[in-house]
Amino acid sequence: MDQASTTRYPPTQHILRDLQLEVEHRPAATVTARIPINEHLTTQSGTVHPGALATLVDVVGGSLAASVARPGWIATSDLTLHLLRATDVKMVEARGHVLRKGRTTVVIEVILSDQRDQNLGSATMSFAVLQHRDDNPVIETTDAVSRMSLATDGSGFDQPLEEKTGLTTVDAAGGVIELPISDYIRNSLGAVQGGMIAMTVSAAAERALTGACGAPVEAIDLQISYLSLAKSGPIRSSVQILETTPTFGCARVELTDLGADGRVTTLARVTAVLPEQPC
């Protein structure tokens, strides 16, 4: 499969290029993608940042859904991510397949593993099928397997993911953070990439739950409903704590687009655990 849209998107300076994504499309409606992991894409405890994993999942799910929804286009409805904690991860592979292709919806499942083929978790994504518009990317397919790398000379992370995106903390205990919107994190529709929304949601919940649990926690479950596109920015989070225990907590996160009259763009639930807890 050739993706004609890649000549226009993503631009040279873009999160997907710094992730050095390699994507492999297969004719049987499956997509596999890989990203290398370095210290800038890991959490304090050494696991892979959920924002990086969600971005990888979003690319796999989005490209797979777009290819099976042709000639229509797609809008992401929701993304769930269930992670297993693993350290010493050098590479993440995401394998996506179609669970359902209907007239109005597409559902994708993505399995995550590392360089040892160790299970890192799984994800699901739902998409609404839309009528194709002239400004939508054109997805062309062939029966051949194709591979594509988004890496460019000099791409890759030289600072932690959250810093690189410009994410700032306004009120840690309250889970209030802001993400400015730039071309670096926009998707092909001009809105914030779904994985970057996931990064913002997990970061907001982690900050609030760390305060509520009394110790640093890290997100392992994300359930995200995308309500509207975030195009103006900055995006601001608000968090409501739903549950805290000595070993984990759960919070509801709402994101609003401050540049669009505070429109609610995202509702999510995040579960985060104390990293040192045994399973």
Partner 1 sequence: MLSHPDNGRSLTRYLGLTLRETSEPGAKHPTIEGDCARLDHMRTTNGNVRAGALLTAADSAAGLCGGLAVLPGWVVTTNLMLHVTSFEHVGPLRICARVLRTGKRAVVTAMHIIDLGRDNALVADGVLTSAVLHPEGGPPNYPRPLLLDAAAHDEWAAEELPDFLAVRTESPSCLSIELNDRLRNPWGILHGGAIAALVDIAAEHVTGGVTADVVLHFLAPGRVGPITATVASIGARPDGTVVRVEVRDSGAANRLMTIGVVTCRR
The answer to whether 165 and 25 are in contact (CB under 8 A) is no
Cα(276)–Cα(279) distance, integer angstroms: 9
> Which CB atom, from 38 or from 87, has the smaller least distance to partner 1?
87
Cα(85)–Cα(205) distance, integer angstroms: 17
CB of residue 183 vs partner 1: minimum separation in angstroms? 26
Cα(120)–Cα(142) distance, integer angstroms: 31
Under the rule (CB under 8 A), what is the footprint of partner 1?
Answer: 77-78, 80, 82, 84-85, 99-100, 104-105, 107, 109, 119, 121-122, 124, 126, 128-130, 220-221, 223, 225, 227-228, 242-243, 247-248, 250, 252, 264, 267, 269, 271, 273-274, 277-279
CB of residue 17 vs partner 1: minimum separation in angstroms? 31
> Which CB atom, from 168 or from 277, has the smaller least distance to partner 1?
277
CB of residue 217 vs partner 1: minimum separation in angstroms? 10
What does DSSP assign to residue 275? T
Determine if the peptide bond prior to 36 is cis (ω within 30°).
no
CB of residue 127 vs partner 1: minimum separation in angstroms? 10
CB of residue 180 vs partner 1: minimum separation in angstroms? 24
> Which CB atom, from 170 or from 260, has the smaller least distance to partner 1?
260
What does DSSP assign to residue 5? G
DSSP characters over 172-192: TTTTEEEE---GGGB-TTSSB
> Which CB atom, from 18 or from 254, has the smaller least distance to partner 1?
254
> Which CB atom, from 167 or from 272, has the smaller least distance to partner 1?
272
* Residue found under tokens 């000549």: 7
CB-based contacts of 151, cutoff 8 Å, min separation 6: 17, 20, 21, 22
